[in-house]
Amino acid sequence: MKVLALPVAAAAMLLILAQNTQSVLIEYEGLRVNLESVKKLDGILEKSNDLSPHVRKEDSLSLCSSPQLPEDLQPVCKTPHAADTFRALRSIAEDDCEICVNVACTGCY
């Protein structure tokens, strides 16, 4: 009986670890980006406050020129409305119902 319990316990532990490593993806206008990447945008923008006011004026410009911009967000910089897209992604990431964190939210699946 103990011999069988060890593999079952190991499998359960692997399943728990696998669930914790799954990332939440945000889909917006055909782009799929990781929620954790979007959460990094605020930190990048805070660091860009040290830049000149001209660069700070365009958030998307400072984000796109940052080497810290996550790889999955880099395609946003190639779109004509990058600033609006970054703004929308940040707004979505802040809304628990948009990313279905809360089961009480409607429209989550």
> Which portions of the chain are predicted below pLDDT 70?
1-22, 48-60, 97-109
Q: Is residue 30 domain-resident?
A: yes
Amino acid sitting at position 104: A
Q: For position 18, what pLDDT does the model report?
A: 46
Residue span of the structural domain in which 60 resides: 23-109
Q: Is residue 76 domain-resident?
A: yes
The domain that contains 60 carries what CATH number? 3.90.1450
DSSP 51: S
Q: Is residue 8 domain-resident?
A: no
Work out how many domains the chain is built from and give that number.
1
Q: For position 1, what pLDDT does the model report?
A: 46
Q: For position 70, what pLDDT does the model report?
A: 93
Residue 62 and residue 48 in contact, taking contact as beta carbons nearer than 8 Å: yes
Q: Is residue 88 domain-resident?
A: yes
pTM for this prediction: 0.63
Q: Is residue 14 domain-resident?
A: no
Q: For position 55, what pLDDT does the model report?
A: 47
> How many residues belong to the chain?
109
